[in-house]
Structure 1
Amino acid sequence: MEMRSGSGDRLSQSPMRTEDREVVVVANLGLGEKFFDHGILYQRGLSKTFEHVELVSTEYLLSRVTHVDRRHELILFLDKDVAVAEVLELQGATVINSSLSIAICDDKRRTYAHLAAAGLRIPKTVMMPPLYPKQKIATHLVLSAVAEVGLPLVIKEANGSFGAQVYLAQTVDDVFAIVDALADRQLLVQEFIASSRGRDLRLQVVNGRCIAAIARQHPDDFRANLSAGGVGAPYKPSAAECALAEASAAAVGGFNVGVDLLFDDANEGSIVCEVNSNAHIWRLSAISGVDVPYHVGLALRQWLCA
């Protein structure tokens, strides 16, 4: 693998000591400056722990899917391309997060199924059936979902990031309008948690331990995402909030994940909203004062030596 950024010579294919292991940060650098900066941040953070850290763009790997021995490589995979992550695993690399964990987190239907199976509290959720082209969803299914979760409600596309692809429906007519407009998408209908309107918590969990947290708030939107205009502040989570975030990470098999918690009526973050396997962490680090990439590097070293 050629160098795209960083330092260190190409390593041999022979078995290696943990301290000499080659670490590769894989990110979709072609998506723009924000994604490039995200990769650089992790490369610099891991370089404080590992001697050899490369930064490689996902599309570069597409031409290297056969006849590659990556058994000596530890890959921090920041992209959502599950197939590429799986190829790297099949070539022998240790991939963090795993392709399975990324697949579960990137499909909210699967995320909520795993969280519910682990006995964790989530909003009431109904999966809408997939539709073929030109097929309209049955009216009774929409009405049944509304009756199950109540109004107002939230409609989410199964795949989405940065708070996008999430919609608030106040009336039954709103629900039908949104569902009809998104007929080609995989959708969930979900209970609206009024006690958490425009605010939530983001907790970063690394190797089973919550290492950083911020509170997010938006004055004008039901979503609190910073990328949607929300404002973040340092936050010290309670023991129960940490435990819930850590259990959520375990439920999806995530080593390095961002867990979003919603506030209940008692102002406790007790409801799991989402688990993000590829969360951008530069603002989380800046607001919380915790160098997340550095702690990821330390956790990876400890995990490899265990």
Structure 2
Amino acid sequence: MKQLLFVFLIASFSFAQSKIESYPLSNTEKFEGSIERIENFPTKFISPRTVDIWLPSNYSKEKKYSVLYMHDGQMLFDASSTWNKQEWKVDEVASQLMQENKVHDFIVVAIWNIPNLRHMDLYPNMPYQLLSKETQEKIQVEVKKSQFPFDDKKINSDNYLKFIVEEVKPFIDKNYSVYTDANHTAVMGSSMGGLISMYAICEYPNVYGKAACLSTHWVGFRDFENNPIPESFFAYMMENLPNAATHKIYFDYGTETLDASYLKYEYRVDEVLQSKGFNQNNYKNLKFEGENHSEASWQKRIDIPFLFLFGK
């Protein structure tokens, strides 16, 4: 473990010139590797937000790295600043796997969420549009019973993905020593982040060759009787999953708290993926008995998707 030196990058830079001023700021949390932070990343697609770029301790411009794009970036590295004092420990786990030579070297691009926009940013738009107006109205009644702020007229996931693909990725490709092809580019998240990761690999199969979706929130909001949302996701996947010969997809789920509501839908995940040609070599859908819907649970098992995405 070593002291982290945050590098805050001024958000008013020009993409064309890529002129960046950096300001060092010491931090009391201990990290593996280092993080470079861009606050209010410039964008024409969504509300600006922080983007962290994690680099392993051996990062060198003399070699190339794969890239993992992760959602809910503020939850990944530093429990002292998260709302629930939990974190994924991405830096520690990724560093250990690299040091043990179990995975190819990779960097992590961590995109922060904006809490009151999170559901609109991460809810896949096209599956929602598959639903009839009558069904959408029924869902809006159920939404009001949940804690999630959601206006279906403001679903912004298509623009959120454009932000990553058209703005963040070109910046990463230009400023870091990384592979730029789909085979070396992955996307990963949990809950709503699982949904948007599934959506990303379907919408941009030429950008993302791999996706990891933990505790994917198939119910959309809260589960309710005759919930049409999960089947809308599966219908979308049937039509849009990428070529199984060139792509890899990881899913998993626990059995407690919110994850318990996913159990009755997991057989459909397997059915859809297998019908599209995915097999034990390029897809997983793993059950973790007794695990719940939290960063603490995801932290326990993130080595498994890391190995699936980048394993040697």
Q: Name the TM-score class by shorter chain.
A: 0.3 to 0.5
TM-score between the two structures when normalised by the length of structure 1: 0.35
Which has more radius of gyration?
A: 1
Structure with the higher strand share, 1 or 2 = 1
